[in-house]
Amino acid sequence: MRIGELARRTGVPVPTIKYYTREGMLPAGERTGPNQVHYAESHIRRLKLIRALTEVGGLSIAAAGEVLAGIDAPGSTVHGMLGTAQSAVSRVAAERGTDETWERADREVGELVRRHGWTVRPENPGWQTLVQVVVAYHELGRSELLGLLDGYADAAGTLAAAELAAFDGVPSIDAKIEGAVLGTVLGDAAMAGLRRIAQEDVSRRPEAQPHPG
Amino acid sequence: MRIGELARRTGVPVPTIKYYTREGMLPAGERTGPNQVHYAESHIRRLKLIRALTEVGGLSIAAAGEVLAGIDAPGSTVHGMLGTAQSAVSRVAAERGTDETWERADREVGELVRRHGWTVRPENPGWQTLVQVVVAYHELGRSELLGLLDGYADAAGTLAAAELAAFDGVPSIDAKIEGAVLGTVLGDAAMAGLRRIAQEDVSRRPEAQPHPG
């Protein structure tokens, strides 16, 4: 198909398609004549993947480009790709504090990880995110919210195992790798959406209303 | 204390403090002389709250300002404030599609909500996020990932109930409202961090490695 039809079928404007091609995120079409470039069905799917990562998953163009390069690289592994996808979706952590509150929060995260029997590098992007959250709880004098973290951790462990089992049924390694990326990027969006819904439901219940007087 | 000490004690640069004041996010200090403005301990806490919402929670300055205005407004309720916080942390949804895939995804989300016995408005910001995720699964031919959503939903329900119970022990309505905001904004960050950690742990296990050959 020509670029106009590709744009129509995907809803992605022509200049955006050209931009993705220049950035190396979308393979160029096949030149079939002096003014004619042919695009295949695989271009449609690739554009949908780019849109899923950026519009639904909220990745920047640079982060999406990095993830797509990882998907395309020969010899990628599920474990390696997961690391790339995780770094891409994780916010850049603020400079690590060195004061007592940070050290305490780092220790508390370490204890949480041990309690749940997890094996993980301290450079895991999630570790620093979590330390930042714990520091914020302490600094705001809301240390009681720490009590929520074991519940979050149980849920995270259950979901990670379910995600892994879901990729496992997929035959090809390429599809497994893409599944790991979608599980990470779209799974975050799905979980955030479901939390909004469950929170609204819970806050409507009579026991959530403040007592009069 | 003077502005220099406020900056030193919070790590927030003086121009940024002035910017937050101009934007109405931080109350002005008390003028005690022609060149002297006095800041109180409450300014320290407020700056930490602003930092938690923006740096840890990832809110834009505009969204954080909206949330803080809600916290400050007399007569705010936990339920109302939760809606404000939810809108602030939710990505602006792309224009709603009208084709068959969208309608199908919207129905599937509705069924999921009913299966979990939730009462929720279809305008809940999480609903549209979730529809977008389901559309992406279908468009990428990965409908098998839909099977993960019930697990995510169970976890979201458990966490929402735990969060509500955590606010409940807090005596004042103001602290409850702030707790609802922190539960939403920092809870998302905590859950994302824990998911990264659990995913790394699961992907290291022997059963996660591709079989040779």
Summarised one tens digit per residue, pLDDT across range B138-168 is: 888 888 888 889 988 988 888 888 887 777 7
C-beta atoms of A197 and B58 within 8 A: no
Q: Which residues of B touch A202 (CB under 8 A)?
A: 157, 160-161, 163-164
Task: Tell me the C-alpha to C-alpha distance, in Å, between residue B208 and each of A118, A180, B120.
Answer: 15, 11, 37
User: Looking at A163-167, B32-36, B150-154, B194-198, which range is the least confident one?
Assistant: A163-167
A-chain residues within 8 Å CB-CB of B145? 166, 179, 182-183, 186
Q: CA gyration radius for chain A?
A: 22
Q: What percent of chain B has pLDDT over 70?
A: 92
> Which backbone phi and psi does B82 adopt, to 5 degrees?
-60, -40
If one counts every other C-beta atom within 10 angstroms of the C-beta of residue A94, the result is 13
User: Of A145, A129, A130, which Cα lies nearest the Cα of B159?
Assistant: A145
For residues A126 and A153, is the Cβ–Cβ distance under 8 A? no
Question: Which tokens is B84 given?
Answer: 């404000």
Tell me the C-alpha distance between B32 and B88, whole Å: 36
CB spacing of A210 vs B173 below 8 angstroms: yes
Q: Which of A131, A194, A200 to mutate to test the interface with B (most CBs of B within 10 A)?
A: A194
Cβ separation B161–A202 shorter than 8 A: yes
CA–CA separation, B166 and B151 (whole Å): 23
Residues 167-196 of B with CB under 8 A from A: 168-170, 173, 176, 178-180, 182-184, 186-196
Going by C-alpha positions, the residue among A156, A157, A155, A137 that lies closest to residue A147 is: A137
What pLDDT is stored for residue B134 in this prediction? 92
Amino acid (1-letter code) at residue A100: E
CA-nearest of B164, B201, B174, B190 to B57 is B190
B62 neighbors B81 (Cβ within 8 angstroms) = no
| CB spacing of B166 vs A148 below 8 angstroms | yes
Shortest distance, CA A53 to any CA of chain B (angstroms): 9
Residues of A in contact with B47 (CB under 8 A): none
**Interface residue A78 vs chain B (CB under 8 A):** yes
Taking CB atoms and an 8 Å limit, are A190 and B152 in contact across chains? yes
A197, A201, A205, A211: which to substitute to probe chain B, counting the most B Cβ within 10 Å? A197
Q: A123 near A86, Cβ under 8 Å?
A: no
Nearest CA in chain B to A135: B52
Measured CA to CA, the distance from residue B133 to residue B102 in angstroms comes to: 10
CA distance A37 to chain B (A): 24
B93 Cβ under 8 Å from any chain A Cβ: no
For residue B167, the one-letter residue type is F
B60 touches chain A (CB under 8 A): no
**Nearest to residue A129, comparing CAs of B161, B91, B200?**
B200
**pLDDT tens across the length of chain A (213 residues):** 999 999 999 889 999 999 999 999 999 999 998 888 999 999 999 999 998 888 888 788 888 898 888 888 777 777 777 777 777 776 555 555 668 888 999 999 999 999 999 988 888 888 888 998 999 888 888 888 888 899 889 888 888 888 877 777 777 777 777 877 888 888 888 888 888 888 888 877 765 555 443
Provide the mean pLDDT of chain B: 83
Q: Are B55 and A157 within 8 A, CB to CB?
A: no
Instruction: Please give the structure tokens belonging to residue B157.
Output: 């329900």
Residues 6+ apart with CB under 8 A from B164: A202, A203, A207, A208
State the pLDDT at residue B209: 54
Using the beta-carbon criterion (under 8 Å), do B48 and A140 form an inter-chain contact? yes
Q: What phi and psi, each to the nearest 5 degrees, are found at residue A194?
A: -65, -35
A44 touches chain B (CB under 8 A): no
Interval B49-106: pLDDT, tens: 998 888 888 788 888 898 888 888 777 777 777 777 777 776 555 555 668 888 999 9
Interface probe, candidates A82, A196, A204, chain B, greatest B C-beta count within 10 A:
A196
The helix (H) or strand (E) run that includes residue B31 is strand B30-33
Rounded-to-integer distance, Cα A102 and Cα A197, Å: 33
Q: Do A129 and B199 touch (CB under 8 A)?
A: no
Say whether A12 sits in a helix, a strand or coil: coil
